[in-house]
Every structure is written in C-alpha cells, then in structure tokens.
Structure 1
Amino acid sequence: MRGVCTLALALILSAWAVPAASHAQKSSIRALQKLDAQLFSVGWKLVTGNAPYCKNAAPAIGLMLHDAHSYGQPEKVREELGLTGDIGVQAVAPWSPAAQAGVPIDATITHLDAATVTATFPPSDPLWQRLTRINDTVDRSLAENGQVAVIWKTRDGGETVALLPGVAACPTRFEVLSKGGRAVADGKRVILGRKFVGFSYDEPEFAAVVAHELAHNLLGHRALLDELGRKRKFIRLTERDADRLMPWLLANAGYDPWAAARFMKQWGPKHSGGIFRKRTHDGWDERLEYIEAEIALVEDAIARTGRADWSQEFVQSTDGYSRDQ
C-alpha cells in the first residue's frame, strides 16, 4: 500500500519505496509529487464544493503529507527534499486553511497540537501505519476542536506555528500510485496510477475524471454492490450513475458541467469503445448521452434554485433494486 491520505481530515499521504536517490529517482520523486499536487488540488475543489450535499462531511485543512522513512532510504530523501525529519509537506491545496497559513511544500512537520511528531509517531511496520496514526490524531483534533495546531520547519531552519481551522469537505482520500494507469475508487479513496492518461488533460476535463471516481464513493457504490451482488448489470448501473453525477459535482466545484461531456468525447473513442469496451460499462457514445441529459437537469436546477443540489435532485439508477433481481 503506497500511502494514506484524506481530504476529510488532513489529507495525508505516504510515499512508495525506492532503493536509492539517484538522479533518475530524484526526478521520479519530484514527478510524482507534481501529480499528487495536481490530483490534490482538483480533489480539494470537488470535496469542499460539494460538502453541503454530503451526509458525512467532516473538517479538512488541505494539507498533504508524506513520510520520508517509507521510501527505503529516508536520509537520501530528506537530503533531496531538504527535510529535517521524516514527515514532510507533499502538497497544499490552493485556498485551503493550510495555504492561507502559508504552509510551504517540503516543510517538515514537527508538532501536531501538543504531540511531537518524532516522539509520538515513530517509524512503523508496515511503514504506512505511521501516517495512519497521524491521520487519526488530526481527525480527533478537528472533530473535537474544529482546528489543529501545526508547527513546521523549512529548509533554512525557520520554525512557524499556525492554528489551522477545518472547513467542511466530503470524506474521500486521494492517492497517486507509483505504477499503473488506472483510475479507480474503493469506497474511501480515489486512486490514479501515475501513467493515467487523464493527467495530460486540461484541468476541467481532468476534474471530470476525478469527479467520476469520487461519485462512486459519495453514492456508496462499493457497499451497494456488496449488498446487491457484483452482477454485470449492477456494475453497469453504478458506472452510469457515476457518469451522471459528474456534472453535478463539477458545477459545485466551480467547473463547467459540460467538462464531463468533453472528457467523454476525448477519452471514450480511444479507451471505451470497440474491442476495448468493458462490458460492465455502456458504450462511450451511450455514456455521453446520459451525461448530456444530466447536464440539462443540472442547468435546470441551478436556474430554479441557484444550486446544484444532487442530494435532493439526483435519482440513482439502482434505486428499488434488491439482491434477488
């Protein structure tokens, strides 16, 4: 498991193991950091913009961390990134509490509230568990106090203390894997392989990719399929609903809902058609029709109410189904 990050809490991320910090590997570290920042920034907009319509929205501060110790040779990683400890800042979401407090990339986190990071969170086995514990600490602080105190050091040794207030966000984690090119959702995370083609798209169309996967989590599709059974027809309905919810999520995040249709036109012919078509999905042209029909509903909702409130106006295709159907 590469790492753990959550937008509902502190959006914390661990790193993948690398044997040494050669020039190529240093470039790989920075390249993955760039992808993390891209996904994190878009994800933040989606989960905060849609928080009013998520049943279990929770406080978030927009800070993504990683653990140098989990790379295999932590001293090499610390030297490359200028860290004075293992827990460093991987990404900061624009306009988030962390960004407004001035938390910089590659700062070293030394304290969370009264907890000293080095003493309270020693390296773990497996490696990813340390960030899980840090995540739990931030979770409790935000849930109980609505804020968390963070102390960080920069490369030049300067130390800063900030009290970061939480803002409401839909609870989903975001992760970029060091290998592969898939985009998936597992109920709690949106996971993209570093080779996923959508990283090269313009931001609104890339946001549509993330929105599709986020939709699976917000609609509870993993639990739904566990209940109904993983028959092809049920999987297809959940994929259809994830497509249909895309424009709602995009609109609330400040994106043009038509970016969902543009994404499908760009991605579908190459990756979801002909012999490449997954039988658990509608054809890309059918998917486009569902998306365009839903955009009309989004625009109507905004015209009538000034909001794209999918919690009240979106109807799932799986409503009324039971395991026996």
Structure 2
Amino acid sequence: MMNRIWPFLLVLSFSQPLSAQEKPDGEVSAETILALKGLQLLDQRMNAIGFRLISANAAYCDQKAATTGLLLNDVAQYADQETARFALGFDGAIGITAVAPDSPAAAAELSPGNSLLAINNKAIEDIAVDLSQSSSEEPAYRRINTINRVFRQMLAAGDVQLTISEGGVRRTVPIKPVETCTGQFQIRVSADRSATADGRLVSVSSQLAEYFLSDDEFAAVVAHELAHNLLKHRDRLDAQQVNRGFFGQLGKSAGRIRETEIEADRLSVWLMANAGYDPQAAIAFWTRYGKEHGKGIFSASTHYRWKKRVQLFEEEIAKMDAMEPVDGKYAPPLLTGSD
C-alpha cells in the first residue's frame, strides 16, 4: 500500500481544495483559477481510470455497486466559492466535475460544469446532513459526502432521475447505472508521492499523479490500491490485530502487511489488463521510480524493493500470456480462487 501540491498549476485538489486556504484579499489571481482548472483535469483522469478498472472487472468481484461514472463537487469545499464556480464552470451549490468515458453518465450526456439540482425530484438543499455518519468528517465535506451516500442508495434501487442546470437551462436526465466492483477514488493534495486504500476509497496524492508518464502508469498504482480493497486486506489485518504504526514495521505485523502488498501487486496487473491498460506499465513505473529513488516509494520491511516487485509483475503477466482470455478478459486467480 502506498501512502493534492503541484509545482505551479496543480496546487489544489478536489479532496483538499481551497477550503484549506485562507481567502485572499482582493481579486483571486489567474494562477488560482488555472490551478483549479488543472486540478479538475486531474480529477477527471482519476475518475476515468477508476471507473474503467471497476467496470471491467465486475464479473470477478464478490461485492458490487450500482455506478454511473459521475464525480460531484461542492462549492462549500472552497474558501472562495465565487472563484471556484467560475473556474469549475457550474453555478449551483453542487456541480459535476468529472464524467467517465463510456459510463452511464456519459451516455446520459452529462458534462463537467453541470449543476446538480435534484435526485429523483428530491432537491439537493433538502438532503439533510446525517451527523451520525458525518460527525468524523471535515465540516466542508459533510454535505457532499451525504449527497453521495444518498445518491448511491438511490442507484442501488434502480434507475435515477437527475435534475441539472446547464448554462442556466434546467432539464431532467434519466440515468441507468451499471454494476461494477465497489470502489471510490480521489486525488488528495499532498507534497509527497503516495497512494492509500482504506477498504473503500483509493486515494492518490497530487505529487505522485504528476509523476506518471501515462494513464497506464497511473492505472498501475490505482489498480494496486484497488486490489487491497477488493481483497479486503484492511479487514484481514484488523482481524490479525496487526499494528499499522511504527511497530507494524517489525516482526509478525511486518510480515503480514508484506503478504498483502505482494497480493496487491499480483492482482493489480490482472485488473489493468482486463481494463485495457498495458500491465507492462507497472514494470516501467516501478523500474523508473526504483532507479531514481533507490528503495522505492517505501523503504520499510513491509514492502518489497522495486526489483522484486517487478519480478512479481513479470510472473503474473506470464500467467496471463499462457491463458486464453474469455471475451478479452483474464480471470484473476486471487479473486476467483483458481490456481
């Protein structure tokens, strides 16, 4: 498991945007607007990669969800809401920031910049924040997280009607979800190069996202973190009472964490191949990063060094090469229980 500051343009992100900044006096600079626009593009890449991975591998997941490929944003996340609306292109409180290609949201002709007014005729302003589920969340994110939870609940029951505003024109759009693996994805503002999985959410730092040379490399890291979630590694480690703190780097805890890292590496290239990404990109990424940074993103005993990781990828790719795909897909042994 690898644990949003960009050199110039991409200094803020959807997960930790302008809400973390003090509102400046006077007019907001052009650099801030460009940063938000660049950040939106990064969110769109992450959303597209995540949707592609969970939809392509749905047949092999034991836990599924109704998904649209839509990513929502809340102006309450930003200190300067007027600038955020201008930069991101919507005029309401809740807007669409990303639409995954070939998703139900794309089929419904939804677009970034649309404002979301209602879900199944329930006005956005009438969706009350549920503090029983949101009390531990940052206040600026409670409304959007509540709306997302309500949206997922409605999708689980079937088709959904979204009322949106596009350029001031109000329209109602039917959207039919598809069944995918469970999975949520976000870009996180951070100066470090890191990625995490918490059992449901995959998070990639902005600094790491900047390092990728292609979407295939981006997908390699997202697939690794998604693999942790699909294999329920957090639950397993919790059941084993594994210490994830300092002492998790030692003894049995370190060995058990390393086992999950090995499994995530092995599964990741299968997830990539099924989604049409080149699994060789995992080798290219870790080789380049390993050579540039010595021990790799982590130097702890819980992770293999980069050369061993590359060897794992090569072994799994060889297994796929020896198989005959079914409908262009390879059944991942770690998800199907096959040898």
Q: Work out the percentage of aligned pairs sharing the same amino acid.
A: 35
Pairing 1:295–2:298 present: no
Deviation (angstroms), 1:75? 2.9
> Which residue among 123, 139, 144 is the counterpart of 1:131?
144
Preserved CA contact (<8 Å) 1:301 1:307: no
Give the AA of the match of 1:162: V
Deviation (angstroms), 1:259? 2.5
Partner residue, 2:9:
none
User: Compared with structure 1, are the counterparts of its residues 198 and 105 closer, same or farther at alpha carbon in structure 2 (3 Å cutoff)?
Assistant: same
Preserved CA contact (<8 Å) 1:182 1:193: yes
Give the AA of the match of 1:194: S
Structure 2, unmatched stretches of 5+, are: 5-13, 132-137, 244-252
Query: In the aligned structure 2, how far is the partner of 1:78 from the partner of 1:309?
Result: 44
Partner residue, 1:159:
170
Query: In the aligned structure 1, how far is the partner of 2:34 from the partner of 2:284?
Result: 32
Backbone CA RMSD of aligned residues:
2.5
Partner residue, 1:320:
none
Partner residue, 2:59:
52
Query: In the aligned structure 2, how far is the partner of 1:275 from the partner of 1:192?
Result: 13
Partner residue, 1:312:
336
User: Compared with structure 1, are the counterparts of its residues 286 and 48 closer, same or farther at alpha carbon in structure 2 (3 Å cutoff)?
Assistant: same
Partner residue, 2:134:
none
Give the AA of the match of 2:22: P
Equivalent residue runs for 1:94-109 within 5 Å: 94-109=101-116
Give the AA of the match of 1:139: R
Partner residue, 1:175:
186
Deviation (angstroms), 1:97? 0.8
Query: In the aligned structure 2, how far is the partner of 1:274 from the partner of 1:291?
Result: 15
TM-score after normalising by structure 1: 0.85
Range 171-180 or range 306-315, more displaced: 306-315
Equivalent residue runs for 1:259-274 within 5 Å: 259-271=281-293, 273=295
Query: In the aligned structure 2, how far is the partner of 1:313 from the partner of 1:306?
Result: 20
Structure 1, unmatched stretches of 5+, are: 3-12, 316-325
> Which residue among 200, 203, 215 is the counterpart of 2:212?
200
Partner residue, 2:71:
64
Range 90-99 or range 258-267, more displaced: 258-267
Query: In the aligned structure 1, how far is the partner of 2:209 from the partner of 2:148?
Result: 30
Deviation (angstroms), 1:82? 3.7
Deviation (angstroms), 1:226? 1.2
Give the AA of the match of 1:267: Y
Give the AA of the match of 2:123: T
